[in-house]
Amino acid sequence: MALLGSLLPPVVSLTVLGVFFGALLGIASRIFAVEADLRVDQIVSCLPGGNCGGCGYPGCSAFAEAVAAGRAPTNGCVVGGNPVACEVARIMGTEALAVQRRAAVVKCAGSSQRAAQKYDYVGYADCGAQHALLGGAKQCPYACCGLGTCVRACQFGAISVVDGVAVVDRERCTACGACVAACPMGIIQLTPYDCDHEVICSNPLPASEVRDVCSVGCIGCELCVRSCAAGAIHMEGHLAVIDHARCVNCHVCVDRCPRGIIRYLGDRVTVVPSLGQGAEDRAAGRT
């Protein structure tokens, strides 16, 4: 009886507290319920769930919310491909759209022979570390460091460093965007896979400054703009930019460019070296 007497107060008080808080939370969740779009959960359940960020949103659930709110297209999930796009379109009650395959492209062609060096870099083989030193070892402030931070970020082995510049194998690329986020220079872009050419330069400075630092960089002569029958090229600063929605793959700009900086991307697909080769590249970048 004495045992029961000493046992009773804590048991009773904790039970009362527990029930009280349980009821409180239960009521609160009703009163303060936030109306959620049911379609969000449905969309999340049919997405791959890898949270890769290839759609441009922080994760699958953020993408689902954006789709439900009408801010993102139903075919935005690149990893899921057409089956997922169909499913999402069915949930949203809209017509299914085919997924546009995209691939990354490193917008720099300033290999070690073409781009002038600012200094000899001796340090960690990491683009971020080199970028922290006066914005990189190449004189061009938009040049690829070539130390392979994107190579290590790529889960699919689609990037290799060739001659001091990173090159993407567009066949292997899944457009997950990991390299875009990893590049400290911000010169990797995702472009439509079908679009065959791209200006492989990110430098918007005028010709006088570009010529000093790189033998191939875009000088903003606008020959391509005038030659493009589809009107797909415009200038951003002194840099030619191709609007892939308008480009008809006619190759006129490739032939016309005096610097040869508009490239046919099929030629830039390189065989990715084995891991040992990649390690040698990094070692070479280090010395």
- Report how far Cα 287 is from the mean position of its chain's Cα atoms: 29
**Site membership for other proteins, residue 58 (CB under 8 A):** no
Identify the residue whose tokens are 């759609």. Answer: 55
- List the one residue from 92, 96, 129, 284 that touches other proteins (CB under 8 A): 129
**Site membership for other proteins, residue 126 (CB under 8 A):** yes
**Site membership for other proteins, residue 128 (CB under 8 A):** yes
How far is it, in rounded angstroms, from Cα 104 to Cα 175?
6
- Report how far Cα 73 is from the mean position of its chain's Cα atoms: 17
**Site membership for other proteins, residue 10 (CB under 8 A):** yes
**Least distance from other proteins to the Cβ atom of residue 106, Å:** 21
**Least distance from other proteins to the Cβ atom of residue 134, Å:** 16
Q: Hey, which residues between 24 and 43 contact other proteins (CB under 8 A)?
A: 24-25, 28-29, 32-34
The DSSP annotation for 39-97 comes to HHHHHHHHS------TTSSSSHHHHHHHHHTTSS-TT--TTTHHHHHHHHHHHHTS---
How far is it, in rounded angstroms, from Cα 85 to Cα 238?
38
Interface stretch with other proteins, choices 80-88, 120-128, 209-217, 269-277 (CB under 8 A)? 120-128
Residue with smaller CB distance to other proteins, 36 or 98? 36
- Which token pair is 120? 């000899």
Residue with smaller CB distance to other proteins, 12 or 116? 12
- List the one residue from 8, 49, 124, 171 that touches other proteins (CB under 8 A): 124
- Bridge partners for 138 per DSSP: 117
- Which token pair is 69? 């709110």
Q: Report the interface residues with other proteins, using CB under 8 A.
A: 9-10, 13-14, 17-18, 21, 24-25, 28-29, 32-34, 124, 126, 128-129
